[in-house]
Amino acid sequence: MKIVIVGPGAIGCLFAAYLAKSKEEIWLLDKNSQRAAKINESGISIEGSSGCWQSKPKITVNPQDIGQADLILICVKSFHTKIAIEQISPLLGQNTKILTLQNGIGNVEIISELAGEERVIAGVTNEGATLIDVGKIRHAGRGETIIGAIDGKTPVAMRAIREIFNQVGFECKMSRDIKSLLWSKLIINVGINALSAITRLPNGKLIEYEGTKRILRDAVTEAARIAKRKRIKLIFDDPLAKVEAVCEGTQDNLSSMLQDVLRKKRTEVDFINGVIVRLAQELGIDVPTNRFLLDLIKTIESSYAESAK
């Protein structure tokens, strides 16, 4: 199987490094030629919960170098999904599957519209990864990866993906209700990402302070209310307990949004807390905590230039 990982960030590099242990043909596709050259020269270094080790998958900025792929993992930021899908057209064969392992809600719809819903496999991963430097990843926490087709079916291709992931060390399962999983992951991200980015705290610290713990609980409660109104069944009965458990299980992890803020990069807040705010407006529900978190992250993004002076 030829597998292409699009986006060599924390999760992209982590999956590329692990998948390179397999007998499959593994490629990384980057948009940044300087970063690609550095990874091509030095490979990917992993440290943390899985030990210290290195891997050297193939990497390119030109999809033509790769040819048609069997599986494409989309690991770019949500606001880059449309551009990424438009750029991977040379990789698409008749049976190519596209697996999104991205944060937030909306990526499945974008990929389906541009590449066809029949290709799309949605996924959520609870692997914790922190980008230390180009090609250098701290594996901050282990967790299962769950994949599923939008129509609830389990095609042979998806079972093959599960087997490859399990073989290289990822705990991978399949689900017939991936929408519930995507929303369940959204609830977790709503509680952790923006709050950690604002406070600059790793996940575990968010539940050690009464102030952040209260804000986390309020944000999660609002998001769970929206899910209930949308008649989306979450995979856990107690959203608050689940989010706090994730904080404990990934206590040293820096959320992806915190990593973005520290690097003065655009965040995915529009696809996380922003989703809750937009849906709340449609439903006539007040979500003040999520609106507060959204506004603060947007302010932080807008103030990057000022803080650099």
> Which positions are annotated as active-site residues?
185
CB 201 within 8 A of CB 213: no
CA 109 to chain centre: 15
97-to-49, 93, 160, 183 alpha-carbon distances in Å? 30, 9, 11, 22
Q: Long-range contacts made by residues 112-121, C-beta under 8 angstroms, separation at least 24? A: 112/150, 114/82, 114/85, 114/86, 115/85, 117/150, 117/151, 119/92, 120/149, 120/150, 121/97, 121/147, 121/148, 121/149, 121/157, 121/158, 121/161
Eight-state DSSP code of residue 266: -
Provide CB contacts within 8 A for 204, sequence distance 6+.
Answer: 247, 248, 250, 251, 252
Report residue 67 as tokens: 């040819």
Strands 44-48 and 53-55: antiparallel
